[in-house]
Amino acid sequence: MGIAERREREKRERINTIILAARDLFFEKGYRATMDEIAERAELSKGTLYLYFKSKDELYISVILEGFHLLESRLKKELKGAKEVEERVRAVYYAFIDHCLENKAYFRTTQYFLTEDARANTSPDLVETINRSTGELMQYGVGVIREGMEKGVFRKDVDPFILALTVWRMATGILDLAVLESDTARGKRPYQEVFDTAIDVVLRGVRAG
């Protein structure tokens, strides 16, 4: 059944072509890139795009998920080199931050899906997909915090999930600002001091004893 398989493969290739064109343009112009532009970049007609993606938002989400996979690889890599508890927490924290700073367009795209507007236009199951993936990624944070509690380094009277959520949203909140001012602070992380202070304060706040 070589033909069916080739067809399947060609379909995947086409989808990939479209995602690549879309990513390029979303990186370049943000959400305002148009479907016509993406079609032109992919050397396909607009109608064809809609053969493979139900909507512009679905294309958007595909790009977001690509970013999630990148981040996950990075988290795994960074965690391998880190042994000590606080070092592991920082590894997850800065892996997330650096990923977002190095891939600002991914970050913006992802943040966009926290707006009412985006969610209102997107089918519930797509939103659910994003939520599930987000939850999986957050487990990396929950994991290192739980390790810290088990080893007695962190206080045990805080819910690890809530703490992870808090740190994640704290980082995201600062990133919102950092990503907006992309031109400042050449050579080092923009907002470096803010990110450092933030995690220092939190770590001091959860240390046992």
Structure tokens belonging to residue 192 = 């470096």
- Site map 131..170 versus its own copies, x via CB under 8 A: ---------------------------xx--xx-xx-xxx
Q: Measuring CA to CA, which residue among 27, 125, 139, 131 is closest to residue 72?
A: 139
Structure tokens belonging to residue 28 = 């370049």
116: contact with its own copies by CB under 8 A: yes
206 contacts which partner out of DNA, its own copies, none, CB within 5 to 8 A by kind? its own copies
194: contact with DNA by CB under 7 A: no
The count of other CB atoms within 10 Å of the CB of residue 205 is 11
59 contacts 22 by C-beta, under 8 angstroms? yes
45 contacts which partner out of DNA, its own copies, none, CB within 5 to 8 A by kind? DNA
Mention every residue, 6+ apart, whose C-beta is less than 8 A from residue 201.
none
52: contact with its own copies by CB under 8 A: no
Cα–Cα dist 8/6, whole Å: 5
Handedness of CA 129, 133, 139, 141 (dihedral sign): negative
- Site map 54..93 versus DNA, x via CB under 7 A: xxxx------------------------------------
90 vs 108 by CB, closer to its own copies = 108
By CB under 7 A, name the one of 20, 27, 35, 68 that touches DNA. 35
Q: Which residues form the interface with DNA (CB under 7 A)?
A: 3, 6-7, 11, 14, 32-36, 44-48, 50-51, 54-57, 121
